[in-house]
Structure 1
Amino acid sequence: MTPGEEHGGGVRAVHHRWGAANAITGIRAVLTVVLAVLVAQGATATTVVPVAAVALLTDALDGRVARRTGTASRFGARFDMETDAALLLVLSSYVARDLGLWVLAIGLARYVFLAAKLPLVWLRGQAPPRPWCKVVAALQGIVLVVAASGLLPEPVTTAALLVALALLTESFAHEAWDLWRVRRPHVTQVWVTRLTGVLALLAVWAVLVAPDEIGDLSPAAFARIPVEGLVLVGLVLLLPSRPASWLATGAGAVVGVVALLKLLDIGISVAFARRFDPLGDPVYVGAGVSFLRDALGTANAYTVTVVAVVAMLAILVLVPYAVRRAAGLAREHRPVAVPVLLVLALAWGAGAVTGVRVVPGEPLAAATAVDLASTHVTEVRERLRERAALAQAIADDDYADVPADQLLSALRGKDVLLVFVESYGRVALDGLPTSGQLRDSVDAYSQRLDAAGYSTRSAFLTSPTFGAMSWLAHSTMQSGLWIDNQGTYDLLLGHDRLTLSSAFGKAGWRSVGMIPADTEPWPEGQRFYRWQALHDLTNMDYRGPRFGYGRMPDQFALEQFQRLELDRPGRGPVMAEIDLESSHNPWVPLPRMVDPAELGDGSVFDGMEDEGPQRDETWRSADLVRAAYVRSLQYSLDALTTFLEQRAQQDDDLVVITLGDHWPVTTVSGTTPGHAVPVSVIASDPTVLDQIKSWGWQDGLRPHDGAPEWRMDGFRDRFLAAFSG
C-alpha cells in the first residue's frame, strides 16, 4: 500500500501458478468490490465494518501463506498491494462522508504516487526495502476501520486519522527520497535539477517581496527587488561551503516563518481587517473550528481545518527547502550569480535613494520581510505594555467604592436591559446597496416604539473589534475598559472589576445574563459579571431548529427572558444583558416572526430553516450576502420592537440600552474597516432621557450623520455618572 512494499516484501522468485496466497488476496479483492457497492448504496457502519474487518484479516494471512508455501512472487506482491490500495480508497471514502474530504488523502496517496511516476522517470526505479512500510500500510486499514465504526469520540478519531496520514506521507516521502538518491543521472535529470533550482529561487523571491495585506496584492508587487534576498545570496557566495550551508538552513527557517506570517496577516485582514496577533489569535483556534462546524457542517469544517494545517506545515517545510535549493543554485553557478547580484544590488541602492517605484505605491527597493518582522515585534511589545497598563486600569476604578444606595439611584425600581444586536454596524445603515431598506425599517420600528409610549435617543459607539469576537465588545461596554484582543480579555476576566451588571447587582437589582449562544457552563462569565442567573441553551427549553449559527430565533430568546425573569411573581427590578444572535454570520437561513402566543417550545419554527435562500446559494455572491445580512438585522430589530410593544402593556418602568457589537466581516463591509455601531437608549419614562440630555444624542432609533460617536469603553462611566447620586 505504501510504495516501499513493492520492493520490501522479500520476493526471491517468480511463480506463475495461482496458489493459496493469491486466492486469499482474491477473496480480499472480491470483498473490496462488495464493500464499494455497500458504500455507494449508503450502507451503515454495522454492515461496512464487518466486511472491512474480514478483508483486513485476509491481508494478514496472504503474505504468511506465500512465504510458508514458497510461492512468493512479484505478481503476488503487486496483486496484494493494489488490492490493499483499493480497499483503503473505499474505506477512506466512507469515513470522509462524516469527517471531511481530507480523509480521502489516505486512499488516494498510492494513486497520486503512481501518477507522479509518469513525468518523473527517477520514481520508476527500485529503492531499498523498508519493513516499516508494511507497518504503516497495516495501520492505515486499522485506523480507517476504527473510524468507520464510530466507537471513539470524534476528536480522538480525527487525531488518529491525522497521525495515520502523517505516517503515510512520511513513508511516501522517504521512498521518493530513496529513489532520488539512487537515480541514474541523465540529461533529463540535469534539466529537472536546474529547473527546480530556478523555481526555488523564484519562490523565495516571491515570498520576500509579497505584501502582507490583501489590498496590496498585484503583479507589480512581485517586480520589486528584496534586499533580504540580496544579502542572503551575497553571504552564501562569500562564505565557505559549510558555514554557507548553515546560513542557508537558518535563513530558510526564518523565511518560512515570514511566509507563514504574511499568509496569516492576509487571512486575518480579509476576515477582520487587522493583522495577525501572535499573542492573542492562536487561542481562537477552538472557537474558529466551532464556528466552521456551525456554518459549514462537521465534515466540511474538519476538511477546511486539516487543509489549513497542512498548508501551514507545507510552508514551514517547503520554503526552507526552497531557500537551501536557491542558495545551492547560486553557489553552483557562481560566475553567473556574482554579476547578477551586483546589478540587482546597484538597482536596489538606486531605487532606495531616488524612490523609484514600479507602479504608484510599490517602491522598487523592497524590504518587506524586515518591515514585517519589525511590525510584529513592535505589536507584540505594545500588547505586553497594554496588558501591564490594563492591570493598573482595572485597579483604578472611580466607581468601585460608590455606596450601593447612591449607585444608579435615578433608575430605582426600573427594569434595565442591555441588548446587543449581533454584527449591527453603521455600514448596515449607510454603506450597502440595501441600506435604504434597513433605514426605512428602523424608522418604522422607531414609530412603533413612539406609538407604544417609548422615548428614544441614539448615537454611535466605536467598537474595539471588527468582524467577530463579540465578547470583546461586550466586556468593553460592561467594564469601561478598552478590550480589543484575547490577551487583555483573559486578563480582565481574571480580575474583579465593577461592570454594569455587577453595579446594578450591588445596587439591589437582580442581575441576569441571557446568552443563547452558550452551549456549555461558563463560570468565568458569571464570576466576572456577577450574574445571579445565566440563561443559555443548556437551560432554556427550545426544541426548534437552528438557523445558521443561531441556536434559537431572537423572538424566542426574548420571549424566554420574559417568561423566566419578567413574569416571575413577586420579583424585584431586573437588570439583564441579552445577546441577540439571529443576525450572526452566515445570516441564512432566517426565521419568520410568528404570533407570540404560538411560540411554545419553539417547534413552531420547524421547517422554516429550509425556506428561503440557503447558505450555499447565498454565499456565491457578495451582493446576496449583503442583502441577507440586512434582512437578518431587520428580523432582529423587529423581534426587539415587538417584545417592547408587548412589555409596554405590562411594564411602564422599562429602560433598554441596545447597540451593535461590531461590523460584519469584509465580505459584507468591504476591505475598508469601520468600528462605529449604533446605540440607543429606549425608556418608557421620558424623565430617564432627561438625565442624558447633555449627551447630545439624537431622537429616534436611527442615528443620523452628525450624531456623536464615543469610544465604547467610555459608556460605562458616563452612564453611571448620569444615573448615580
Structure 2
Amino acid sequence: MSETLAESTSPEAEATGADDTPAEKPSLRARLVRRRDAHPTAVRNMRWALNVLAALLVLGALLLPNKVAYLHLRAFVRIPAEAILGAAMALALPRRPRLVVAVVSGVGLGVMTILNLLDMGFNDYLGRPFNPVLDWELLDDAQSYVADSMGKGVAVGAAVGAVVLVLLLLAVMTLAMVRLSGLLVLDRQTATRGTLLAATVWVTCSALGLQIFGTPLASEHTAALATTQAKRVLYTVRDEAEFQKVAKVDAFGNTPGSQLVPDLRGKDMIFTFIESYGRSAIEDPAIAPGVDKTLDTSTAALAKAGFHAKSGWLTSATYGGSSWLGHSTTLSGLWIDNQQRYRTVMASDHLSLTKAFKKTGAWDTVGVMPGIQKGWPEQKYYDLDKVYNAFQLGYQGPKFSWSTMPDQYALEAYQRQVHGKKRDKPLMSEIILTSSHQPWAPIPKMVDWDDLGDGSIFKGIQKAGNKPSEIIADSTRSKQEYGKSISYSVTSLTQWLERYGSDDTVLVFLGDHQPIARVSGENASRDVPISIVAKDPKVLDKIASWNWTDGLKPAHNAPVWKMSSFRDRFLTAYGSTRHPSKG
C-alpha cells in the first residue's frame, strides 16, 4: 500500500499534469515509512535500543528484591527462571495467544514490581512486608504523615507521583513484554537455541549451587515472591475467622466488677504509652548514653520525691508504626498485629484493661489523646467516660511535625483539666505521648512548668528546631534526634509525676513499639520497656515475683513477655478473680 501511495504522489505525475485532480496528502504511516527509509541506520539503532531497554526492564523487574537492604548489583546478575519459561511459551504459541499472554504477563510483572516497592517501604518503616488485603488503608495514613512532616504540597506531589509511577509501571512492563515476545519469533531458530542454552545453564547453576558473592546464580525470585503473596492473602483470610473465635474467649470476661483489681482501690491509675520507646533507646550504643542518663536521673529524682519503680520488657505486636496495635494489644490481652484483628477487637466486648477499671464502678475513666484529630469510635471499646483529643486541650502553640503538641504541655493540660480537679472517685487515665514520633524534627524542649500557658511559648523552640527534611533520610542524625525525643518524653512524664503525683498515684508507662529500622537497625528486636511507679510500697510488692529491675531502666536480662500477656498478669497481680467467658 505504501508503494501505491508513493506512486500517486510522485514528482513525475505532478510534472506531466496527467491528473487534473489535486494530489492526496500522504498518510501518517506513509510519511513514517519514508523517514524510516531515509534514515535506516538511526532507525535500526533505535530499535536495538528499545529492545535492550525492554529486556533490561523485564529482567530488572524479575530480579527486584523486596527489601532496601538487598538492593545490590549482585541481585541483578542472576538468571531468572521466569524469563526462560516466558521465552519458551512465546516461541510455542501462535500470534494471538502469544500477544494475550504477553499483555497478561506484563501487567502481572508490573503488579509484582509495585508490590515489591511497597514491601520495601513497609519493611523499612514497619519491619514487615505489605499485606495486599489489609494495608491499603495505611497508605492514607502515610500521606497524612508526609503532610504533617514535610508539608501538604510535598504530600500531594508524592501522592500524584505514586499514581503516575503505578500507571507507568503497568504500561511500560506490558509494552516491554509485547515487544520482547514479538522479537523472539522474528528468528525462531536462533531464539529456540538461545532459550535451550539458557535453560541448560540455569539447571547447571541450580544443581551445582553456583553463587556470585553469596547469591545463587539460578533465580526463581519472582515466582517465590508471588507464592509468598498468595500465601499471605490466604493466611489473612483464614486468620480473620480463627481470631474471631479467639477474641470471644476471655479469662476475665465474666468476672464481676467487685472482683476486678481490688488491691488498687483508691489509687489514681495512669497508663501512659510513649511513642516509639523501644529497647534500642536503652541499648543501642549510638542512642543509649543520653537516654540511660535520663532514666538514671529520673529514677533518682523520683526516689527523692518518694516514688519507686520496677521495669521489664514486653515484645510489641507492631514495629516502627501502627501504634494503635501496640495500645490495643497491651490493654486487651490479645495479640493484635494487623488491622483486621484490630477491627475485630474494637467491635467486640472483650474486656480491656481500661474497661476493667470502669466495670468496678470505683473509678472515673478518661483518655488524653493529643494525636487524635478526628472522630475516635474506639472510645466505646475502651469504655472511657471522656476523651480529650488534639483540639480539646487548649493548645495554641505550633505543631512539632506530626506531634500536635509537646508532651509537657499535654501533661500540664491533663493536670489542669482533669487530674487536678476534685472528684468523688479516683481516676483511671490512658495517656498517649507523641513528641517522640518520627521524624524527630523539630523536638520540643523542657520549659518552666509555670510558664506553659496556652503553649505559645513553644513557638520560638519550634522555629529554631531542625527541619524534618534535614533528619528524615539521615540514619545517624535520626538516631541522635530519636534519643533526644525519648529523653524529652520521659523527662516530661517523670517531672509531671514529681510535681503532681500523690501517695495514691500509680503510673504504668511503656513504649508502643520500636522505632523504624533506619534507627533501630535491621532485624532489631520488637521489645519495649515498661515500668510501674508508685509511692505505696504495697503496689510494687504485688509484682515482686515478676523479677523486674528496680528503677526505670530494665536490665538487659530482665524478663521479656509478649505484650498480650500483660493484661492478665496485671489483673492477677492486683487481686482479680478469673471467671472465663468462652464465647
Q: Fold conserved (TM > 0.5)?
A: yes
- What is the CA distance between 1:305 and its match in structure 2? 1.6
What residue identity is the alignment partner of 2:181? A
- What is the CA distance between 1:358 and its match in structure 2? 2.2
What's the counterpart of residue 196 of structure 2?
342
What's the counterpart of residue 163 of structure 2?
309
Q: What do the CA deviations read for 1:4-51 (whole angstroms, capped 9, x no partner)?
A: xxxxxxxxxxxxxxxxxxxxxxxxxxxxxxxxxxxxxxxxxxxxxxxx
C-alpha separation between the residues in 1 aligned to 2:477 and 2:571?
A: 42
Cα 1:614–1:261 change in 2 (3 A) is: closer
What's the counterpart of residue 567 of structure 2?
716
Q: What do the CA deviations read for 1:575-617 (whole angstroms, capped 9, x no partner)?
A: 1110000111111212221222222211222221112433233
Instruction: Please tell me whether the aligned partners of residues 212 and 266 of structure 1 are also in contact (alpha carbons under 8 angstroms).
Output: yes
2:357 to 497, 500, 504: 504
- What is the CA distance between 1:312 and its match in structure 2? 1.6
- What is the CA distance between 1:127 and its match in structure 2? 8.4
Question: Is the aligned partner of 1:429 residue 2:282?
Answer: yes
Cα 1:606–1:689 change in 2 (3 A) is: same
- What is the CA distance between 1:179 and its match in structure 2? 9.0
What's the counterpart of residue 634 of structure 1?
487
What's the counterpart of residue 265 of structure 1?
119
Cα 1:336–1:457 change in 2 (3 A) is: same
Q: How does 1:296-335 map to 2 (within 5 A)?
A: 296-335=150-189
* Structure 1 residues not aligned, in runs of 5+: 1-124, 129-176
- What is the CA distance between 1:183 and its match in structure 2? 6.1
What residue identity is the alignment partner of 2:206? A
Q: What do the CA deviations read for 1:545-573 (whole angstroms, capped 9, x no partner)?
A: 11121111101111111122222223311
What's the counterpart of residue 225 of structure 1?
79
Instruction: Please tell me whether the aligned partners of residues 440 and 481 of structure 2 are also in contact (alpha carbons under 8 angstroms).
Output: yes
What's the counterpart of residue 385 of structure 1?
238
Partner of 1:405, secondary structure, is helix
Question: Is the aligned partner of 1:562 residue 2:422?
Answer: no
Question: Is the aligned partner of 1:654 residue 2:505?
Answer: yes
2:497 to 636, 644, 666: 644
Question: Is the aligned partner of 1:420 residue 2:273?
Answer: yes
What residue identity is the alignment partner of 1:638? T
Cα 1:720–1:181 change in 2 (3 A) is: farther
Question: Is the aligned partner of 1:535 residue 2:388?
Answer: yes
What's the counterpart of residue 586 of structure 1?
439
C-alpha separation between the residues in 2 aligned to 1:464 and 1:388?
A: 19
Q: What do the CA deviations read for 1:611-634 (whole angstroms, capped 9, x no partner)?
A: 243323334632122111111111
- What is the CA distance between 1:126 and its match in structure 2? 10
Partner of 1:446, secondary structure, is helix
Cα 1:182–1:296 change in 2 (3 A) is: farther
Instruction: Please tell me whether the aligned partners of residues 290 and 484 of structure 2 are also in contact (alpha carbons under 8 angstroms).
Output: no
Q: What do the CA deviations read for 1:508-556 (whole angstroms, capped 9, x no partner)?
A: 211111100111121x211111110001112221111111211111011
What's the counterpart of residue 16 of structure 2?
none
Q: What do the CA deviations read for 1:324-382 (whole angstroms, capped 9, x no partner)?
A: 1111111123232121111110011112222111221x112111111001111111222
1:256 to 110, 129, 133: 110
What's the counterpart of residue 15 of structure 2?
none
Q: What do the CA deviations read for 1:426-471 (whole angstroms, capped 9, x no partner)?
A: 1111114131121111111111111111120001101111111101
What's the counterpart of residue 275 of structure 1?
129
State the identity as a percent.
37
Partner of 2:184, secondary structure, is helix
Instruction: Please tell me whether the aligned partners of residues 559 and 643 of structure 1 are also in contact (alpha carbons under 8 angstroms).
Output: yes
What's the counterpart of residue 453 of structure 1?
306
C-alpha separation between the residues in 2 aligned to 1:264 and 1:569?
A: 51
Question: Is the aligned partner of 1:444 residue 2:297?
Answer: yes
Instruction: Please tell me whether the aligned partners of residues 280 and 287 of structure 2 are also in contact (alpha carbons under 8 angstroms).
Output: no
C-alpha separation between the residues in 1 aligned to 2:533 and 2:99?
A: 69
Q: How does 1:134-153 map to 2 (within 5 A)?
A: none
C-alpha separation between the residues in 1 aligned to 2:434 and 2:112?
A: 37
Give the number of the structure whose residues are more often helix, by fraction: 1
Q: What do the CA deviations read for 1:33-80 (whole angstroms, capped 9, x no partner)?
A: xxxxxxxxxxxxxxxxxxxxxxxxxxxxxxxxxxxxxxxxxxxxxxxx
Q: What do the CA deviations read for 1:388-442 (whole angstroms, capped 9, x no partner)?
A: 2221111111101101111010000101111001111111111141311211111
C-alpha separation between the residues in 1 aligned to 2:406 and 2:49?
A: 58
Cα 1:501–1:178 change in 2 (3 A) is: farther
Cα 1:498–1:247 change in 2 (3 A) is: same
- What is the CA distance between 1:190 and its match in structure 2? 2.8
Question: Is the aligned partner of 1:195 residue 2:46?
Answer: no
The root-mean-square deviation of aligned C-alpha atoms, in Å, is 1.9
What's the counterpart of residue 50 of structure 1?
none
What residue identity is the alignment partner of 2:371? A
Instruction: Please tell me whether the aligned partners of residues 357 and 363 of structure 1 are also in contact (alpha carbons under 8 angstroms).
Output: yes
C-alpha separation between the residues in 1 aligned to 2:45 and 2:184?
A: 16
C-alpha separation between the residues in 2 aligned to 1:476 and 1:431?
A: 25
- What is the CA distance between 1:494 and its match in structure 2? 1.7
1:683 to 534, 558, 561: 534
What's the counterpart of residue 471 of structure 1?
324
What's the counterpart of residue 18 of structure 2?
none
C-alpha separation between the residues in 1 aligned to 2:82 and 2:52?
A: 18
C-alpha separation between the residues in 1 aligned to 2:257 and 2:26?
A: 84
C-alpha separation between the residues in 1 aligned to 2:546 and 2:284?
A: 26
- What is the CA distance between 1:696 and its match in structure 2? 1.2
Cα 1:494–1:570 change in 2 (3 A) is: closer
C-alpha separation between the residues in 2 aligned to 1:401 and 1:558?
A: 35
Cα 1:311–1:430 change in 2 (3 A) is: same
Question: Is the aligned partner of 1:615 residue 2:468?
Answer: yes
C-alpha separation between the residues in 1 aligned to 2:459 and 2:313?
A: 37
C-alpha separation between the residues in 1 aligned to 2:253 and 2:565?
A: 16
C-alpha separation between the residues in 1 aligned to 2:81 and 2:422?
A: 74
What's the counterpart of residue 406 of structure 2?
553
Instruction: Please tell me whether the aligned partners of residues 278 and 513 of structure 2 are also in contact (alpha carbons under 8 angstroms).
Output: yes
Q: What do the CA deviations read for 1:269-328 (whole angstroms, capped 9, x no partner)?
A: 122221111111101122111111100001111111211221122111111111111111
C-alpha separation between the residues in 2 aligned to 1:277 and 1:610?
A: 38
What residue identity is the alignment partner of 1:327? S
Cα 1:634–1:181 change in 2 (3 A) is: farther
Partner of 1:606, secondary structure, is helix
* Structure 2 residues not aligned, in runs of 5+: 1-24, 577-583
Q: What do the CA deviations read for 1:216-273 (whole angstroms, capped 9, x no partner)?
A: 2221111111111111110111122222122212221221211211121122212222
What's the counterpart of residue 62 of structure 2?
208
1:489 to 339, 342, 347: 342
Instruction: Please tell me whether the aligned partners of residues 520 and 538 of structure 1 are also in contact (alpha carbons under 8 angstroms).
Output: no
> TM-score, normalised on structure 2?
0.91
C-alpha separation between the residues in 1 aligned to 2:33 and 2:402?
A: 52
C-alpha separation between the residues in 1 aligned to 2:280 and 2:30?
A: 58
Instruction: Please tell me whether the aligned partners of residues 510 and 529 of structure 2 are also in contact (alpha carbons under 8 angstroms).
Output: yes
C-alpha separation between the residues in 1 aligned to 2:432 and 2:32?
A: 60
Partner of 2:466, secondary structure, is coil
C-alpha separation between the residues in 1 aligned to 2:408 and 2:356?
A: 28
Partner of 1:577, secondary structure, is strand
C-alpha separation between the residues in 2 aligned to 1:581 and 1:471?
A: 12
Q: What do the CA deviations read for 1:172-226 (whole angstroms, capped 9, x no partner)?
A: xxxxx99979964441223212321222122111211222222222211111111
Q: What do the CA deviations read for 1:639-660 (whole angstroms, capped 9, x no partner)?
A: 0011000123xx2101111001
Instruction: Please tell me whether the aligned partners of residues 78 and 217 of structure 2 are also in contact (alpha carbons under 8 angstroms).
Output: yes
Instruction: Please tell me whether the aligned partners of residues 501 and 531 of structure 1 are also in contact (alpha carbons under 8 angstroms).
Output: yes
